[in-house]
Structure 1
């Protein structure tokens, strides 16, 4: 036993060393811009514009990404300024055009009369823009020249504001180019030997974690016995938990909006990406790789912890399998086979981009396999959800298949007790999660309207703006930054409980048309509170157990931990006929209100 405890402590030390190595990669990058790489990324047309401003940083070696990224973005900004000054239309032209108009009605011929025949690319572009932007004004009457001049000045302002997006680098374009160039310019130790750093930064933490976990088979009891969980600095919002939460939040912020600063981590997994898909790694491959490893390693912890419960062990193996195979390996192999990338277990509305135009076009153009993917995706949420949820409750997906649920059940398991069980939290939960579902439905309807009609305007709103707002607010901030980053602060199912639109959809079916319920034996309940404490969905399970009532809450994901931690066998997960799910009597001890003995 003593030797096992030593291995346990050594494992923790090894993990800390390995994780520290992983963090250090953030600062180990070295960067050197190569002219040929820049030309390849920018293309023949754009490269000459940037080349003249990049001459000062060619072959200059940077020891950190912050300075390199700052200098490269400055180059792109200088290029933008040159483009703007080159193509900008002077506001004085508005008065010249207005005074050349004959009569009160505006004629576009006045533009060509004023400018004359364009003799260069700049003049041609300016002329075309003026024609395009004033098409709606043709034949419109203006009372005075000043009124027409003012209108033309507004048009010129709009054209000048569009110069960067049309001829230069938009902010989104700057971010994308910066990420690509930063990754290709990495010349540090990680780029020189990625396999070594993969072993040091990923392999060693895994070895340490397993050494830390395996001795628990002999040194710790199975299950949860209220053993000081609320006195842990890691598991009860202590300083370690705060540090971990800060790291997770920061990780997601960089992942979504500043991936260029994570290039060392991404370069490290390049060999793996090329093995699976044949392509260099992106930030999303790196994220998927780390996400999968987290579920696999922490899944081992889950199996060891709940080894007294066959249900928990099989359920954990299930989420580990679906994440590794369906969410990570198979999609990458599909790409290698020149097929659309698809996580075959993910579905709308959780997969909110499923009906985006580029996804639909990609699947349709892929032929038979692409059409199968389209049909499979539609069948999952139209047929799979109602049928399987009727038979097994939402647990079939949320606790056995879903990647979000898989991460919550494994990496997030130490924080399940932090979920708020108050009525106030329940009210917020219902408003938020159903609000997100409505938002997802409206956004998808708008996207499909644009796909079939070609019009981006629906009821006065731009459909592309609607989907951008959803992607930023729900797809990034809510599901990522808050959904995972807040594990150490609000529990492991923040996203599933408050934001997941698919969980809301599944919950509707489970609540009103399902065979699933958690039955309770109120006469056996001793009110220990284990069930409520460890309910990750914020359900006060004890309240139901004391009254002998079935638990059929729409939010329940059927994880079964409440049953696994109950010392009296009060709770039981069942799939039975629908009769008796509702209107159960309230019980105190062995007595039933309103029922004669």
Structure 2
């Protein structure tokens, strides 16, 4: 027994050393800008102007990504200023065009007179832009030449504002170029030997984690209890939990908006990405790799912890399998086979980009396999959701298949007791999650409208803006930064409970048309509170158990942990006929005192 405890402690030390090594990669990057890499990154059209400002940093070795990225972004900003000054149209052109028209009726033929000779790239581009932007004005009468000139000044202002997006580098483009060039310019120890650092920064923490977990097979009893979880600095919003939450939040912020500062981590997994897809790693490959590892390693912890429950063990193996095979390996192999990247278990509206134009075009152009993917994706949410949810409740997806649920059930399991069980939280949950579902439906309808009509305007709104707002607010902030980063603060199912539109859709079906329910035996309940404590979805399970009421809440994901921790066998997950789901008699002890719907 002592030797097992020693292995347990050594495992914690090994994991800590490996994790620190992983964090240290953030500061080990070295960068040297190469002219050919720069040309490849910015393109031939913009290279000449960018090259002019990059002369002073060619060949210089930077020892940190912050200085390198800052200097590179400064170069692109200077290039932007030159490009803008080169293509900018002076406002006095508006008066020249207005004076060149016959009367006060606008004719586009006057544009060339106002611009002057269209010789050269600049003049031709200016004429084309003004022609495109004034098509709606052709033949239109104005009360005076001054009114026409004022309207043309607004058009010229719009054209000038579009110069950077068309000819230069927008802010998003600058960030993307910075990531691309930082990855190409990495010349530090990680780039020189990625396999070694993969072993040190990833392999060692895995070994340490397994050494830490395996002794629990002998040193701890199976199952979980109220055994001091609220006295832990890690599991009860203590200082360790705060540090971990801060790290997770910071990780997601960098992942979504500043991946150029994570290049050493991404370069480290380049060999794996090339093995699977044949392509260099992106930040999303790195994220998917770490995501999958977290589910696999913490899945081992779940199997050890819940080894008294066959249901929990099979459920855990299921989410480990679907994450590894369907979410990680198969999509990368599809890319190697020149097929569209697709997680075959993911579905709309959780996969909110499924109906985006580039995704639809990619699937249609891929031929038979692409059309199968399109049909499969549509069938999943139109047929799969109602049929399987009717038969098994939303647990078939949320607790057995979904990657978000898989991470919550494995990595997030130590924090399940932190879910808010208050009535106020339940009210917020109902409004928020169904509001996100409505937002997803509206956004998708707008996206499809643009796809089929070619118009980006719907009821006075720009459909691309709707898509961008959803992607930023829901796809990034809610599902990523808050959904995972807040595990140590609000429990492990923050996203699933408050924000997931697919969970809302599944929940509506489960609540009103399903065979699934959790039955309770109120006569056996001793009100220990284990079930409510460990309900990750914030359901006060004990309230139902004391009354012998079926639990048919739309938010219940059927994880079964409430049943697993019950010392009296009060709770039972069942799939039966629909009769009897509602209007069960309420009990105190063995005495019925009424019927509650």
Q: TM-score of the superposition, structure 2-length normalised?
A: 0.99
Please list the CA deviations of residues 107-154 of structure 1 after superposition, one character each: whole Å capped at 9, or x if unmatched: 222222233331221111112222222222222222223222221211
| In 1, Cα distance between equivalents of 2:251 and 2:9 | 27
Equivalent residue for 1:200? 200
CA deviations 1:524-551 (Å, max 9, x no partner) are 0000000000000000000000000000
Q: 2-side partners of 1:349 and 1:133: how far apart? A: 36
CA deviations over 1:262-292 (Å, ceiling 9, x no partner) = 0000000000000000000000000000000
Gaps of 5+ in 1: none
Given that 2:96 and 2:113 are in contact with CA atoms closer than 8 Å, whether structure 1 keeps it comes out as: no
Question: 1 CA distance for matches of 2:242 and 2:297?
Answer: 22
Aligned to 2:186: 186
- Residue aligned with 1:568, SS: coil
Q: 3-state DSSP class of the match of 1:586?
A: strand
Q: After TM superposition, give the deviation of residue 381 of structure 1 in Å.
A: 0.7
Q: What's the offset of the Cα at 1:212?
A: 0.4
Give the structure 2 partner of residue 30 of structure 1. 30
SS at match of 2:484: coil
1:475-490 paired onto structure 2 within 5 Å: 475-490=475-490
Aligned partners of 1:423 and 1:329: how far apart in 2?
Answer: 42
Give the 5 Å matches for 1:119-518: 119-518=119-518
Tell me the residue number matched to 1:70: 70
Please give the alpha-carbon distance, in whole angstroms, between the structure 1 residues aligned to 2:526 and 2:469. Answer: 48
Q: 1:243 and 1:588 mapped to 2: Cα distance? A: 44
Aligned position for 2:91: 91
SS in 2 for 1:593: strand
Task: Provide the rounded CA distance (Å) in 2 between the counterparts of 1:207 and 1:532.
Answer: 34
Listed one character per residue, the Cα deviations across residues 40-71 of structure 1 (whole Å, up to 9, x for unaligned) are 22222221121111111111100000000000
The residue that corresponds to 2:101 in the other structure is 101
Residue segments in structure 2 that go unaligned for 5+ positions in a row: none
SS at match of 1:572: strand
Q: Which moved more, 1:88-97 or 1:509-518?
A: 88-97
Aligned to 1:547: 547
**TM-score scaled by length of structure 1:** 0.99
Cα distance, 1:452 vs structure 2: 1.2
Residue aligning to 2:11: 11
Please give the alpha-carbon distance, in whole angstroms, between the structure 1 residues aligned to 2:112 and 2:37.
Answer: 42
Residues in 1 aligned to 2:346 and 2:368: alpha-carbon distance in whole angstroms: 20
Shift of 1:518: 0.3
1:209 positional shift? 0.3
Q: Aligned partners of 1:125 and 1:504: how far apart in 2? A: 49
Compute the displacement of 1:155 (Å): 1.2
3-state SS of paired residue (2:572): strand
Name the SS for the 2:585 alignment partner: coil
After superposition, the C-alpha distances for 1:170-190 in whole angstroms (9 at most, x for unaligned) are 111111111100000000000
State the SS of the aligned residue for 1:354.
coil
Deviations 1:18-55 (A, max 9, x none): 00000000110000000011112222222112111111
**CA deviation after TM superposition for structure 1 residue 223, in Å:** 1.3
Could you say what the CA RMSD is over the residues aligned between the two structures, in angstroms?
1.0
